[in-house]
Structure 1
Amino acid sequence: MRAMLLREFGDVSNFTMGELDTPQARPGQVLVKIAASGVNPVDSKIRLTHPPFAPTLPAVLGMDLAGTVEAVGDGVTDLAVGDEVWGCVGGLADLPGTLAEYVAADVRLLGKKPAVLSLRQAGALPLVAITSWMLLHERAQIQPGQHVLVHGGAGGVGHVAVQMAKAAGVRVATTVSTQEKADIAKDLGADDLIFYRDESVQEYVQRLTGGRGFDAVIDTIGGTTLDDSMDAVRIEGVITSTNTRSSHDLSILHAKGLTLSVVLMLLPMLTGQGRERYRAILDKAAALVESGALKPLIDPHHFTLDQAAQAHELVEHHKAVGKVVVDIN
């Protein structure tokens, strides 16, 4: 099979097209013919920074996929040849990635693709949908009637979190940087828009909550945005974050009795523990998609497998509007 191989960690010049043996589905796995692979910021970070969970070189990167089951390993009873599936399955540690024509994937990391989505659309959603569900429902435990702030409502995780929160019956506020992104967030269901470059935290907290603060804040940006989140959340509120790799003064956390909960959605893939959560969350996300409550925001650029380096560049330099997808087959 054809695969995009990363020969060295660093810039995209280290990608080269190569040929690998088509994998076989082992017990508990299915062989998937990949139609589309979503590119996420974490893919670029692995390529650039060589974190401890990076795969061994030469490596096939890529976590998201949508495709068709070609073969079923022993013990698999809930998926069959011909099923269209989606999932977040590899591209780190010892799990092969999805910038390839085929992958043998743990069946627990896959779900049946929503029928209303094309394979290309479905390939954009798994990682961001799983992450958003963990942030909102598992950690923040949002409830109908709450007022929730989602930072970066036109971003990869943010645009899904806005929709999931809205579907849960909460009032959704979100930060944006431009009118274009404000229009996107509004279209996705955001109730309150915050141009964070033009308005201080204190100003938008006063304007939108009367100074009380938000019941929960969802932060995927980190750095100073995490500090802003501590200012923006109400007393005894909840902050959930995917980006806490920095130093902060936590005195306000103590003074307000806040809960800070960190999500690293890759843990089930890295540890092998709790992979069934992925399937369960994907099924919940599929139900939202089928009901019309969740849709992917996909960048208009089109990339083939041969152009995966260009797709990585677009994500790395923050030039994408929505999720970047590589068409594989």
Structure 2
Amino acid sequence: MSSTVTQKALVLPALGEHYAVADISIHAPGPGEVLVKIESTGLNPIDWKMLTTYSASIYSFPFVAGHEASGTVVEVGPQVDSLAVGDIIVFQGGFSLRRATFQQYCVVPVVHAAKVPSNVSPDEAATVAEGLMTALVGLYNTTAELNGKSLSLPPPWSPEGATKYIGQPVFILGGASSVGQNAIQVAKLAGHSPIITTASLHNAAFLQSLGATHVLDRRLSDDAILAELRTLTDSGAPLSLAYDAIALPETQPVAYRALAEGGRLVVVLPEQIPQEVKTPGDGKTVVFPFGHVCGPGNSEFGAEVFARLFDWLEKGVIKPNKVEILPNGLAGIPGGLARMEANKTSAVKLIAHPQETL
């Protein structure tokens, strides 16, 4: 680590203001932590929603956003023997000034990091953590305290889950989104078949390369989608599992309607299913996950995931998103977030290089 004690960060000075590049202190790693020089950071919808929908969750200023990244270990804290200076790692950040990724350096707990294999670039690695954790937490975190934040199914890497899902159909709405891409790959890992998703049809070949068996045009009416689903499952019966990676008021009802009695649905935004869509006693379960390792009940599960991530990436079990590099380092992030808010990205993860900030 150099003698530099300050760094560039994309800072929100106060509520009602805008993100701007500023100088802040570099943080020191504690026990079980490393200090990372951030090479690439991914942009996520939550980063622009922190200015609007989730602004009440910002408790102190200056605030720095950013929730996933890759970078180089530059300092190792006490009680760390699994990582060394010079290692390139992928990790989740965010929700504290020390761990946020819209800055040039941050602190990372080693149990929530994985080395990046040589077949994956730092830019690609920075696309992985947020979408993958959201997909996995919603399905497989069995921690009892989650209370409606996971279906708590046995994970496919456990003895109980290893063969449980083979041949079972799954319906994933929004397959081209980052969470949707990861949900498709997780479904393939678990052995689900068919894996049916909705997306713009120009993304169909890409999603099929990730494991989707059928891609339905997201512009179809709800009734048309339900009719297609009936033809794609062996029995023609409604499905038992769905994942809505978009979870807008216009997508949640069709996901819910697609399920059989007792079916299970994960939504990535709070539930907004009209009462008239529901049938009393249908036994359907809807959960809204908090897909982050720092969430209540997620830390141990996150450690399980990151312990497997190097192997998944190296073998191509989990493939990164496509990337688009934003110019001007951290200063390019606000424009990228504006594009995301305006829904002007498709099947691509926007990436910034904090070290290129002037």
Instruction: Give the structure-1-normalised TM-score.
Output: 0.89
Residue of structure 2 aligned with 1:61, choices 50, 61, 65: 65
Task: Look up the equivalent residue of 1:30 and give its one-letter code.
Answer: V
Matched, 1:111 2:114: yes
1:220-269 Cα deviation digits (max 9, x unpaired) = 32223222112101232221222225363187364432222331123x42
Residue of structure 2 aligned with 1:134, choices 133, 137, 150: 137
- Consecutive unaligned residues in structure 1, runs of 5 or more: none
Task: Look up the equivalent residue of 2:60 and give its one-letter code.
Answer: T
Task: Please name the residue that 1:208 is paired with.
Answer: 232
Task: Please name the residue that 1:283 is paired with.
Answer: 307
Matched, 1:48 2:62: no
Deviation at 1:145, TM superposition (A): 0.8
Q: Distance in 2 between matches of 1:323 and 1:253?
A: 38
Deviation at 1:51, TM superposition (A): 3.3
1:277–1:219 distance in 2 versus 1, CA, 3 Å: same
Contact in 2 for aligned 1:205/1:211 (Cα 8 Å): yes
Moved more, 98-107 or 108-117: 108-117
Alignment of 1:297-316 (within 5 A): 297-303=321-327, 304-316=329-341
Task: Look up the equivalent residue of 2:70 and give its one-letter code.
Answer: A
Task: Please name the residue that 2:187 is paired with.
Answer: 165
CA RMSD of aligned residues (A): 2.3
- Corresponding residue SS for 2:266: strand
Task: Please name the residue that 2:23 is paired with.
Answer: 19
1:114–1:213 distance in 2 versus 1, CA, 3 Å: farther
Q: Distance in 2 between matches of 1:40 and 1:212?
A: 35
Q: Distance in 2 between matches of 1:87 and 1:55?
A: 23
- Corresponding residue SS for 2:319: coil
- Give the number of equivalent residue pairs: 323
Task: Please name the residue that 1:150 is paired with.
Answer: 172
Moved more, 318-327 or 301-310: 301-310
1:234–1:115 distance in 2 versus 1, CA, 3 Å: farther
Task: Please name the residue that 1:5 is paired with.
Answer: 11
Q: Distance in 2 between matches of 1:253 and 1:281?
A: 36
Task: Look up the equivalent residue of 2:312 and give its one-letter code.
Answer: L
Q: Distance in 1 between matches of 2:55 and 2:295?
A: 12
Identity of aligned residues (%): 25
Moved more, 158-167 or 48-57: 48-57
Q: Distance in 1 between matches of 2:97 and 2:343?
A: 28
1:64–1:197 distance in 2 versus 1, CA, 3 Å: same
- Corresponding residue SS for 1:224: coil
Q: Distance in 1 between matches of 2:209 and 2:301?
A: 29
Q: Distance in 1 between matches of 2:96 and 2:58?
A: 5
Q: Distance in 2 between matches of 1:78 and 1:185?
A: 35
- Consecutive unaligned residues in structure 2, runs of 5 or more: 1-6, 142-150, 155-163
Task: Please name the residue that 1:296 is paired with.
Answer: 320
Task: Look up the equivalent residue of 1:41 and give its one-letter code.
Answer: P
Task: Please name the residue that 1:264 is paired with.
Answer: 290
Deviation at 1:74, TM superposition (A): 1.6
Alignment of 1:87-126 (within 5 A): 87-90=91-94, 92-93=95-96, 95-126=98-129
Instruction: Give the structure-2-normalised TM-score.
Output: 0.82
1:255–1:182 distance in 2 versus 1, CA, 3 Å: farther
Alignment of 1:193-204 (within 5 A): 193-199=215-221, 200=223, 201-204=225-228
- Corresponding residue SS for 2:64: coil
Contact in 2 for aligned 1:111/1:282 (Cα 8 Å): yes
1:111-153 Cα deviation digits (max 9, x unpaired) = 2223321111101110111111223444355611110011101
1:55-93 Cα deviation digits (max 9, x unpaired) = 522211101110011111122232222221111122x25
- Corresponding residue SS for 2:57: coil
Deviation at 1:101, TM superposition (A): 0.9
Moved more, 59-68 or 199-208: 199-208
Matched, 1:187 2:193: no
